[in-house]
Amino acid sequence: MPRLVIVSNRLPFTAQQREGGWGFVASSGGLVSALSAYLAKARAENVDFECVWVGWPGAAVPEAEQARMRAVALEQYGSFPVFLSQDDVRDFYQGFSNATLWPLFHYFPSYVEYNPQQWAAYVRVNALFRDAVLEVFRPGDTIWIHDYQLMLLPAQLRAARADATIGFFLHIPFPSHELIRLLPGPWKRELLAGVLGADLVGFHTHEYTQHFLHSVFRVLGWDHKLGQIALGDQVRRADTFPIGIDFEQFMTAANDPAVLQRRAELSLGIRGKQLIFSVDRLDYTKGIVKRLQGFEEFLVRYPEWHERVVFALTVVPSRTEVRQYGRMKKELDEWVGRINGRFGSTEWVPILYQYRALDFNSLVALYALAPAALITPLRDGMNLVAKEYLASKPDSTGVLILSEMAGAARELGEALIVNPNHASEIADALQQALGMPAVEQMARNRPMQERLKAYDARRWAEHFLTTLARVKAQQGQLATRHLSAQMQTEIAQRYAAARCSLILLDYDGTLVPFAPQPQLAAPDAELVGLLAAMRRRTSGGIFLVSGRDRATLSDWFGSVRVGMIAEHGAWVRREGADWRLLKSLASDWKEQIAPILRVYVAQVAGSLFEEKEFSLAWHYRRCDPELGAQRAKELIDELTRYTANLDVQVLEGKKVVEVRNSGVNKGAAALLVASELSPDFVLAVGDDETDEDLFRALPPDAISIRVGAPFSHARFRMNDYRDVRRLLARLVATHGGAD
């Protein structure tokens, strides 16, 4: 049975010491609810599939208790606990994870501790997780590792199980290279290479993905193409998967009688005042003090709201052992006291401050009741609270005030977006929110709710896991191998022994280097001589397969008896014959392509689908420019592969990706030529995307070589045109024969 092995720092439950010994308390959080929703769906659809979880149970469990706890965890939760000592918890968890990586990745460089002992613990504990996973692992399993505490684990596992399917997802921001470079060299190299042990690396936003790829390039020198990184003959991929919430759960809960009851009680407590709401873990990244300053500014600027609003500020205790957190709690208490003292009266306490966790019903009741939510982190990977607030509004009213520094702001553009560092922006947003007509509130919220519903937690997990499966499947096909000397000898021997050979050669970049201007790339004497020598030994035919026009090719190669395919396959000329125009039209491909374009329309706000007589188009002029461009690249990539066996062309225009019924490409032209010759040896060499059509069209025993790029449908790879010329010279030499 296929299995998913989830690995995260924390298990979905916490071990606790009670009177009668140790027990468990289930914990929930974004990851748990996302995965539970995904698993529930899989089960409902009878997908035969098992899930196990590897992680730390959240407390230092005495050794004597561990065996029993292991058995209970497995039986009750399908989980495998990794036990950490108190020193590990201090140095790995509170130390390197929460006092180095957490502040660095959230742009708090001055809080970062650089402690070699903590780094050593991080390396050691990642290896403990590796050992635990290896105990659980069975061939065929999919391993999905989560978050910043386990960045070394993917590579550690890869070293032990080279073929394993491994995914990694980062829940916090990936910062700009300017932050990453602050780490000592070996640490940053190991962290980045560690993550890239995974086949697929996921982030919440496009920006984080780009930051990661940039750091990988700067620190490790590994370049990427459309998020794909070639490591030897392996391909890794980085991509964006914004985590969703269990939308239906919140929408349903908002109308649950117990929640409605709780809501009524809360409403009574604030006696008709307007409620502003926020909830966060105690963390300096959440911007709570700045938020209080913003609220104070609001009370100063807009005194008409005195006695009419209440700010319900809930802060959930967290990481109290880490230095900055204790200090922050004190500062927070002082600010709340000061603002309440300055504006409050016997009748009115402006800030209702709670330092504790809320039960789920109270949380949803507050979401549902509050006309405004003030979610203003200074940095946040995503921020689920913002999404949950919108999901808890069945009538679509309410105003979300959201920090532009939260990953969620990328998807929730209709919210009131503020810069959390500026009290005046927060103050003005509160004023705008409390005065906003219900019609406008609904108009803003509905599209956001639609989006959250469509890309919910389950869809997120599904999207990541199906992409991981696809990456794994593509790895074998796409990673081309360098053409070895031994293989070159074999090719030369096959060529010499062939009854009828067909040689297909792209021109620019393959036989000659690129020239500053196209007309300057005329063939040199060496090349003309080489082609002529080769022609004399080739029993079938040599074809130059180029994007160039007929006139140029005729002009340059008229003296050599070679065939030519011009304008990417539109024209074919066998040696000594006339040019022929190739054209075939069909439109049955449209029904296969349209759903792909429609998926992109659904995923990218503002994009449009257009159908014409002989083409389909995806327009992204009205989208966020960066996102549009990135998605266009992905679409082209997907379509290029998908249309391998279809007679269509994928073209990139200005802010549009178009699929055209052309019936012409290098592959189709080559197939026509091949069908006329029936060769028993085919060699094709090319260096750009249009040559991929050629590689894909060839029979599996053809020798296909891509020059330069590591990603290709060709079987082999060479560095540049000089290598190609050397190979051709070798074919000539091996064949022998008279000149």
Minimal distance, residue 363 CB to ligand GDG, in Å? 5
Tokens of 373: 């939510």
Our measurement of the distance from residue 722's CA atom to the centroid of its chain's CA atoms, rounded to an integer in Å, reads 37
Bridge partners (DSSP) of residue 235 are 230
Say whether residue 316 binds ligand GDG (CB under 6 A): yes
Pairwise CA distance, residues 408 & 383, whole Å: 6
Which residues in 1-84 belong to E strands, given as ranges? Answer: 3-10, 13-18, 21-26, 50-56, 79-81
Q: Which stretch binds ligand GDG (CB under 6 A): 37-45, 47-55, 295-303, 358-366?
A: 358-366
Q: Which amino acid is at 562?
A: V
Q: Which stretch binds ligand GDG (CB under 6 A): 131-139, 379-387, 544-552, 723-731?
A: 379-387
Minimal distance, residue 459 CB to ligand GDG, in Å? 14
Minimal distance, residue 572 CB to ligand GDG, in Å? 55
Q: Which is nearer to ligand GDG, 379 or 706 (CB)?
A: 379
Helices 384-391 and 247-254 pack at an angle, to 10 degrees, of 50
Q: Which is nearer to ligand GDG, 88 or 147 (CB)?
A: 147
Q: Which is nearer to ligand GDG, 285 or 501 (CB)?
A: 285
Say whether residue 197 binds ligand GDG (CB under 6 A): no
* Residue ranges in 226-245 that form contacts with ligand GDG under rule CB under 6 A: 243
Q: Which stretch binds ligand GDG (CB under 6 A): 378-386, 432-440, 598-606, 719-727?
A: 378-386
Say whether residue 279 binds ligand GDG (CB under 6 A): yes
Q: Which stretch binds ligand GDG (CB under 6 A): 335-343, 357-365, 497-505, 654-662?
A: 357-365
Say whether residue 198 binds ligand GDG (CB under 6 A): no
Tokens of 163: 């073929």
Give Cα separations from 117 to 112, 153, 294, 309 (angstroms): 14, 18, 40, 49
Minimal distance, residue 389 CB to ligand GDG, in Å? 9
Pairwise CA distance, residues 375 & 373, whole Å: 6
Residue 359, exposed/middle/buried by CB under 10 A (0-12, 13-18, 19+)? exposed
Q: Which is nearer to ligand GDG, 293 or 383 (CB)?
A: 383
* Residue ranges in 17-76 that form contacts with ligand GDG under rule CB under 6 A: 29-30
Give Cα separations from 407 to 195, 244, 247 (angstroms): 21, 12, 18
Minimal distance, residue 404 CB to ligand GDG, in Å? 14
Q: Which is nearer to ligand GDG, 269 or 518 (CB)?
A: 269
Q: Which is nearer to ligand GDG, 253 or 544 (CB)?
A: 253
Cα of first residue to Cα of last residue in the chain, in angstroms, is: 63
Give Cα separations from 724 to 90, 505, 510, 685, 687 (angstroms): 58, 10, 7, 8, 11
Among 309, 384, 405, 430, binds ligand GDG (CB under 6 A): 384
* Residue ranges in 514-573 that form contacts with ligand GDG under rule CB under 6 A: none
Tokens of 655: 């802010």
Pairwise CA distance, residues 107 & 377, whole Å: 12
Would you say 465 and 253 are in contact if contact means Cβ atoms under 8 Å apart?
no
Minimal distance, residue 13 CB to ligand GDG, in Å? 15
Q: Quote the radius of gyration of the chain (alpha carbons, Å).
A: 31
Say whether residue 363 binds ligand GDG (CB under 6 A): yes
Counting residues that bind ligand GDG (by CB under 6 A) gives: 20
What is residue 564's three-state secondary structure?
strand
For the chain, the residue count is 739
Q: Which stretch binds ligand GDG (CB under 6 A): 87-95, 116-124, 356-364, 641-649?
A: 356-364
Minimal distance, residue 355 CB to ligand GDG, in Å? 11
Q: Which stretch binds ligand GDG (CB under 6 A): 135-143, 151-159, 221-229, 377-385?
A: 377-385
Say whether residue 381 binds ligand GDG (CB under 6 A): yes
Q: Which stretch binds ligand GDG (CB under 6 A): 176-184, 352-360, 471-479, 679-687?
A: 352-360
Minimal distance, residue 283 CB to ligand GDG, in Å? 7
Say whether residue 415 binds ligand GDG (CB under 6 A): no
Tokens of 185: 């060299």
Helices 485-497 and 721-735 pack at an angle, to 10 degrees, of 50
Pairwise CA distance, residues 650 & 656, whole Å: 11
Longest Cα–Cα distance in the chain? 109
Say whether residue 2 binds ligand GDG (CB under 6 A): no
Pairwise CA distance, residues 154 & 653, whole Å: 39
Q: Which residues are catalytic?
A: 506
Q: Which is nearer to ligand GDG, 61 or 288 (CB)?
A: 288
Minimal distance, residue 378 CB to ligand GDG, in Å? 12
* Residue ranges in 143-172 that form contacts with ligand GDG under rule CB under 6 A: 171-172
Pairwise CA distance, residues 736 & 719, whole Å: 26
The binding site for ligand GDG (CB under 6 A) comprises 29-30, 171-172, 243, 279, 281, 314, 316, 357-358, 360, 363, 380-385, 388
